[in-house]
Amino acid sequence: MSRLILDSSNPPEPGHVLWRSPSNIALIKYWGKYGVQLPKNPSLSLTLAASCTDTQLNYELRKGPDDGQIDLDFFFHEEENEAFRAKVLEFLTSLLPEMPFLKQLKLTVHTGNSFPHSAGIASSASGMSALALCLCSLEDRFFGTLKDPEAFDQRASVLARLGSGSACRSIFPHAALWGATPLVPGSSDEFAVPMGDHIHETFKDFHDDILIVSQEEKSVSSRAGHALMEGNPYAEPRYAQARTRLSSLLDAMRTGELPEFGKIVEDEALTLHALMMCSNPSYTLMRPDSLAIIEKVRQYRADTGHQVYFTLDAGPNVHLLYPGELVVDVRKFIDDHLAEHCEGGFVQQDWVGEGPEEI
């Protein structure tokens, strides 16, 4: 990849690229990894719409001698953020062997979320996918290597994965699968693949209302949680279970079988948190309000027959998944019975979306 070097005798004019990329919610969970951000089992997610990150990457040719370092300024909601800058700088530096042109540029990142950063929504997925898409636009602008849309998306998914595993799934509309499986030709541990053409139309009109039980920083990070899977006695059975559930979930999503879909998705969420409780040391990220919401959702479903299901990421906040036709009833249920369990009554209303867009 050494050809990706700018010709200093014909430098590019200063410019920028700007991408908006969404978060996603995993249905089959990714929990446990190997190598460089590679998954121990395949995962399947829905791509969201409203929970997104806008990232603008400004560039100009760098002045002065090449010191082998990346020159980066970083602004989060127009304020300097050294912690985020350090993470992005580490990510960009790791890409230098294949994208050496990055050290030839003065880079400035302006980024921000459509949702509170501390709200427990997967900001690393939206943030790193947006940045990866900016990098691919830069590469294609300078070198013309990514004219084919499929090649562009696959390259963006690979780069996003290196920044944050789940970010590789945010590149695609509606739904995405990450991880090699014989169930999906072309699937890979290196990148995600789009699944929108393989799911029933009802899932393209799904809502995901995110009940923010707590905005506090998690006591155990996702990175640490993945590492603890190494010594978890249930790790190998879990990976086998995930593969079996993936097969059943893909069938349910092809046919639109909502009760089967919901059972698998809820079981996956509870399995994820059970794995945390079985780690050494063990830890618990769910809160009493998380459990109260789960019990109320189960009762609401029993009372009304409405196909409303819950899932959780690695945190206390509860995602309510349901078909768009139920939005009026479900949001009244949330306002009347569930918002009291949310910090400040905060609920992030979201739905399945069309994927990233260049702005």
CA distance 76 to 82: 10
> How many distinct structural domains can be found in the chain?
2
**163 phi and psi angles, rounded to 5 deg:** -85, -40
In a domain, 5, yes or no: no
Instruction: Read off the amino acid at residue 344.
Output: G
| Residue 146 sits in the same domain as residue 23 | yes
Q: Which two tokens stand for residue 39?
A: 């998954």
CA distance 250 to 247: 5
In a domain, 6, yes or no: no
| Residue 173 sits in the same domain as residue 102 | yes
| Residue 61 sits in the same domain as residue 135 | yes
| Residue 124 sits in the same domain as residue 247 | no
In a domain, 266, yes or no: yes
What's residue 93's pLDDT?
97
CA distance 16 to 105: 12
Query: pLDDT by residue (tens digit) across 313-359?
Result: 999 999 999 999 999 999 999 999 999 999 999 999 999 999 999 99
Angle between helices 149-163 and 123-143 (to 10 degrees): 130
Residue 292 confidence class, pLDDT cut points 50, 70, 90? very high
Whole-Å CA distances, 142 to 12, 59, 99, 191: 8, 12, 11, 23
| Residue 99 sits in the same domain as residue 226 | no
DSSP state of 178: E
In a domain, 183, yes or no: yes
User: Last residue of some domain: 198, 215, 242?
Assistant: 198
Query: pLDDT by residue (tens digit) across 91-106?
Result: 999 999 999 999 999 9
Is 1 a residue whose pLDDT tops 60? no
Query: pLDDT by residue (tens digit) across 252-261?
Result: 999 999 999 9
Q: What is the DSSP string of 206-240?
A: EEEEEE-S--SPPSS-HHHHHHHGGG-TTHHHHHH
In a domain, 252, yes or no: yes
User: Last residue of some domain: 169, 198, 227?
Assistant: 198
Residue 183 confidence class, pLDDT cut points 50, 70, 90? very high
Give yes or no for a contact between 108 and 17, defined as CB atoms under 8 angstroms apart.
Answer: no
| Residue 152 sits in the same domain as residue 265 | no
Give yes or no for a contact between 209 and 350, defined as CB atoms under 8 angstroms apart.
Answer: yes
| Residue 80 sits in the same domain as residue 157 | yes
CA distance 126 to 167: 6
| Residue 175 sits in the same domain as residue 226 | no
Instruction: Read off the amino acid at residue 212.
Output: I
Where residue 174 falls (left for φ over 0; alpha for ψ -120 to 50; beta otherwise) is left
**Closest-CA residue to 157 (of 128, 182, 183):** 128
User: Last residue of some domain: 198, 233, 253?
Assistant: 198
Whole-Å CA distances, 144 to 141, 151, 288: 6, 12, 53
Is 216 a residue whose pLDDT tops 90? no
Q: Are strands 71-76 and 318-323 parallel, antiparallel or unpaired?
A: unpaired
What's residue 119's pLDDT?
61
In a domain, 352, yes or no: yes
| Residue 286 sits in the same domain as residue 332 | yes
CA distance 158 to 163: 9
In a domain, 289, yes or no: yes
| Residue 245 sits in the same domain as residue 284 | yes
Instruction: Read off the amino acid at residue 317.
Output: N
Provide the CATH number for the domain around residue 99.
3.30.230.10
Give bridge partners of residue 60 from the DSSP assignment.
Answer: 106
In a domain, 4, yes or no: no
Query: pLDDT by residue (tens digit) across 131-161?
Result: 999 999 999 999 999 999 999 999 999 999 9
Provide the CATH number for the domain around residue 250.
3.30.70.890
| Residue 174 sits in the same domain as residue 286 | no
**155 phi and psi angles, rounded to 5 deg:** -65, -45
| Residue 242 sits in the same domain as residue 288 | yes
CA distance 66 to 11: 15
Q: How far is CA 168 from the centre of its chain?
A: 7
Domain range spanning residue 257?
A: 201-357
What's residue 221's pLDDT?
87
